[in-house]
Amino acid sequence: MALSRGLRCCQRVFSWIPVLIITAVVLWSYYAYVFELCLFTITNTLEKVAYLLLFHVCFVMFSWTYWKSIFTPPASPCKKFQLSYSDKQRYEMEDRPDAQKQILVEIAKKLPIFTRAQSGAIRFCDRCQVLKPDRCHHCSVCEMCVLKMDHHCPWVNNCVGFSNYKFFLLFLAYSMVYCIFIAATVFQYFLKFWEGVLPNGPAKFHVLFLMFVALMFFVSLMFLFGYHCWLVAKNRSTLEAFSAPVFANGPDKNGFNVGTRRNLEQVFGENLRLWFIPVFTSQGNGHYFALKNRSSESQNPLLANEDMWEESDDGSEEGSLAEDVDPSVTIEMEE
């Protein structure tokens, strides 16, 4: 037990290494650009002031989005999807698998679940003791089920999902802006140092490396950002791009695709002025997502009786999730 705890502690410490690497590179780039380039190399005062102002705008937006991507906790399913104490007792005391499935079926009748396991059964996480909402997956690193999980990113040491996907996209975007701004403004001085117009000194090496590092990161970020833009336009997560979500009628990679505009609004919200600001504006609460084929929803009895969701023990406002689920489907445990 003590060894296991020690290993988990070491794993948590080592998981911060990629973040520390990025932080170190960014801090060095700040020093190299502000001090070695702007203060020690550039002689034109107007150019120096303009570069410093624009650089700090890019730096602040990059740092803000990176911070939000790292420290925004992943969203987990609400307690409506968790087994209550009594249901958990019934489930654990029952030895027959079929009876256990029937217990879960009774619970699932009140939940807006449309996706299925590969076998066609409703998904259940045995580790978290929770019925998985649509697009929810269990992260073995975070040791929790994450709403609309996209992937676990080591560079932010966090799960990218419903709660921080917008922040992650903005982080990629502002990282590209940061890199391309540095490369564009450093380029003329890079050439002057390279051709020997400017004298050799500490600034030369900082400027040369700034150029190479900025271009290297920009190229890699460009492909990653382009891929995620395509995912947003299609309303898919990274996991769904590799394995299409399964519905009652079978797998459908476009099951959540409701049009490019609505897909974008699901992530960024309806207020265009807030699209490029790292504040949470995503639509919904991560438990239910509109489907491409709305007709399949109208066939479910939960839509006809929304009180089944709204009349809860705690009287919470989660009744707004009321949508349909097919009560006849079986359930199987899935980790």
C-alpha to C-alpha distance for 13 and 300, rounded to whole angstroms = 47
Strands (E), the chain: 122-125, 130-131, 137-139, 144-146, 151-153, 158-160, 246-247, 250-251, 331-333
Say which amino acid occupies 238.
T
Q: Which of these, 130, 127, 134, 129, lies nearest to 148 by C-alpha position?
A: 134
C-alpha to C-alpha distance for 308 and 200, rounded to whole angstroms = 75
C-alpha to C-alpha distance for 130 and 107, rounded to whole angstroms = 10
Yes or no: say if 242 and 130 are a contact pair by the CB < 8 Å rule: no
C-alpha to C-alpha distance for 187 and 210, rounded to whole angstroms = 10
Yes or no: say if 93 and 185 are a contact pair by the CB < 8 Å rule: no
Q: Which residues are known catalytic residues?
A: 153
